[in-house]
Amino acid sequence: MRVKDYLFSVAILTLGMGLGRFLYTGMMPVILEEGIFDFKALSYIASSNYFGYLFGALLFSFSLFHRPQYLKKSLILSVLSTALLLFLLSVLTSFPSVLMIRFLAGISSAAAIIFGAITVLKYFSSSFMTASFFSGVGLGILLGNELVNIALIKQYTSLQIWFYISLFAMMIALFIIFCHPKIEVGIYHPNAPINDDYSDNKESSIAKSDLEVKDPPFKLLQISWVSLIILYGFAGYGYIITATYLPVIAQSLPASKLTPHLWSLVGVGAIFSCYFWLYLEKKIGVLSALFWNLLTQSLFVLLSIFSDSLWLLVISAFGLGATFMGTTSLVMPLARKLIVPKTLNLVGLVTLTYGIGQILGPLVTSVIEAMASSLSLASISGSIALLIASLIVLYEKVKWGIK
C-alpha cells in the first residue's frame, strides 16, 4: 500500500461527508448566535440535506451510474460540487437558497460515499483500505470543527468561515483528482463479496479468471437483506439527532475550554472506530460486532440528555463517534455479501433507508423542541431506535444459529 493511495482513500469522505455534510453541525451554534436562522429553520435545512442524501442514494442505486466509464467522472463531480456548494453558503443567505444548497450537498455526499466506496473497493481490495476510507468522515469532522474554532477566535463571521473552508475543500478535491489510482485490482460488482487476498502489489500476477465475481455461497448469508435494510434505517434515525444537535446541546454547559471541542471528539472517535470494529468483526463475527455497535451506540446517544454534565457529554461525543461510522463500515461490506434479487443494488438501498432515518431525525426533533422546549425527548427516541436496530440483529443471530 502506498501512502498516496491511503491518503486518497481517506480524503474522499474527509471532504464529501466530514466537511460537505457534518461541518454544518459545528456551524449551527454560530448561525444561531448571529440570528441568521432560528432553530426551526436550521432543522429544516438539516433535513433538506438529509433528503438530498436520500435522493442521491436512490438515484445512484440505478445500475446506469455504475458503468465503469462513469465511475471516475462521478467521483470527481461529487468532490468538486461539494467544494462549490460550501462556497455558495458564503454568498447566499436567503432561506430558500440555503435550503437548496444543502439539498444539493446531500446529493454530493451520497455520491461521495457510494462512488467512493466502489472506487476504493475496486482499486484496493482490502479491509484496511475500506476502514481507512470510512475513517475520513471522522477526520473531516475534526478538521472542520477545529477550523471553525480557530475562525471564531479570529472573530470571523459565519459567511467568512464558509468561504475559507470552501477553499480548503477545493484543495482536497484537487488532491483527490490528481491522486486517483490508475491500475485496478479487480472487477467490481455491487453485490460481490469482499476478498482480502488481493493487494495493490499483485496486479500483474493475478489472472483475469481469478478476479471474476462469483455469487457468495449460501453459507455466507447471516442476515435477511430485508432486515438489514430496516435496521439500517433505525440506525440512521438513531444517531442523527445527537450528530446534528450536539454543539447546540453543549451550549447549556457552563463556559469551559473543552466545550467547543465536543464535536471534534466525535471526529476523533470516528477516525479510529472503523479500524476497531473491523478488528472486532474478525474476532467475533460481523453480526456480533454489529449488535454491540448498535447497543453501545444507543447508550452513548442516551447520555446526551445530560446536557448539564460536561464529562457525560464528553463520553457521549466520543462514544457516538466511535460507533456511528463503525455501523456503516460493518453494514456496507455486509450489504455486498448478501444474495439479493439481480435488479437490486443493496448498497444503494441500505444507503436509502439510512437517509430516510436521517431526514426524520431533525423533523421530529423540531416538533419535540417546539412542544417541550427540550432536546432530551428527541435524544431518547434516537436511543430507542438504535436499541430496536440492535434487537433486529440479535433476532437474526438467533434465527441463523450464530453464536
Pair 267, 138: CB distance under 8 Å: yes
Each residue's pLDDT expressed in tens, for the chain with a length of 403 residues: 689 999 999 999 999 999 999 999 999 999 999 999 999 999 999 999 999 988 988 888 777 777 888 899 999 999 999 999 999 999 999 999 999 999 999 999 989 988 998 899 888 878 888 889 989 999 999 999 999 999 999 999 999 999 999 999 999 999 999 999 987 654 444 444 433 333 333 333 323 333 333 444 443 567 899 999 999 999 999 999 999 999 998 887 877 788 899 999 999 999 999 899 989 999 999 999 999 999 999 999 999 999 888 999 999 999 999 999 899 889 988 888 888 888 787 877 887 889 899 999 999 999 998 898 889 999 999 999 999 999 999 999 998 888 7
In the prediction, which pLDDT does 125 show?
73
C-alpha cell at 110: 451520497
Give every CB contact of residue 102 below 8 A, 6+ residues apart in sequence. Answer: 24, 45, 46, 48, 49, 52
Report which secondary-structure segment, H or E, holds 142. Answer: helix 127-153
In the prediction, which pLDDT does 201 show?
39
pTM, two decimal places:
0.85
Q: How far apart are CA 250 and CA 235, in angstroms?
A: 23
Residue 368: half-sphere exposure toward Cβ, Cα within 13 Å: 16
In the numeric block, the cell 466537511 is attached to: 19
Domain locations along the chain: 3-181+216-400
Residue 362: half-sphere exposure toward Cβ, Cα within 13 Å: 24
Q: How far apart are CA 334 and CA 386, in angstroms?
A: 18
C-alpha cell at 279: 478488528
Alpha-carbon distances, residue 284 vs 3, 41, 124, 168, 403 (angstroms) = 30, 44, 24, 40, 9
In the prediction, which pLDDT does 184 show?
62
In the prediction, which pLDDT does 185 show?
54
C-alpha cell at 263: 464535536
Pair 300, 323: CB distance under 8 Å: yes
Q: How far apart are CA 322 and CA 219, in angstroms?
A: 30
For domain 3-181+216-400, the question of CATH label 1.20.1250.20 is answered with yes
Q: How far apart are CA 364 and CA 372, in angstroms?
A: 12
